[in-house]
Structures are given as C-alpha cells and as structure tokens.
Amino acid sequence: MDMPCDEFCQVVFNAIDASAEHFDRTMGRAEEHGIVDLFQELVRHYNLIVALVLRLGRICIHATNILGNNVIQFANAA
C-alpha cells in the first residue's frame, strides 16, 4: 500500500470514528443475545489493534519528517 502518512492517518481516524458510532448499538445487541463478555473481549482486541495502527502511523510521520529534513540538509550542503 503506497499512501502518504497523512492520508493513512486520516483513513485510520475515519475508521475509528465509524466504529465508535456503532459501539452502543452493537453493545445493546450483545446484551440481547447474552454475549456481552465475548463482545467486550473483541473490543479489547480491537482497541489493541487500533493503538498499534496509530503507533505505526506516528512512526511513519516521524520517518517522513526525518527523511524530509535530511533531503533539505543534503540540498543545502550541495
């Protein structure tokens, strides 16, 4: 996947927002079907995945900034 860091982060944030909108309704359905524990475990794993993706996004942005700074320094030195 070749995507700029800012676009990548925006995609992740949009996915998180969409998920948050559906959480309450889904929890209500889980209660109706008696699977709250399973749903809460899935949410816990989902939150871990989201944290990992956000961390990767921050690393991507940091790496892009370092690369940009190095290119500028190289250009100035030339």
26-77 pLDDT per residue, tens: 777 888 888 888 878 888 888 888 888 888 878 877 777 787 777 777 777 7
What are the residue ranges spanned by the domains of the chain?
A: 5-77
Residue 78 pLDDT class (50, 70, 90 cuts): low
Query: In the Cβ-directed half-sphere of 55, how many Cα atoms lie within 13 Å?
Result: 6
- Report the pLDDT value the prediction gives residue 2, as an integer from 0 to 100: 56
DSSP helix, strand, coil percent of the chain (3-state; round to 5) = 90, 0, 10
Residue pair 8/57 in contact (Cβ under 8 Å)? The answer is yes
pTM of the model: 0.51
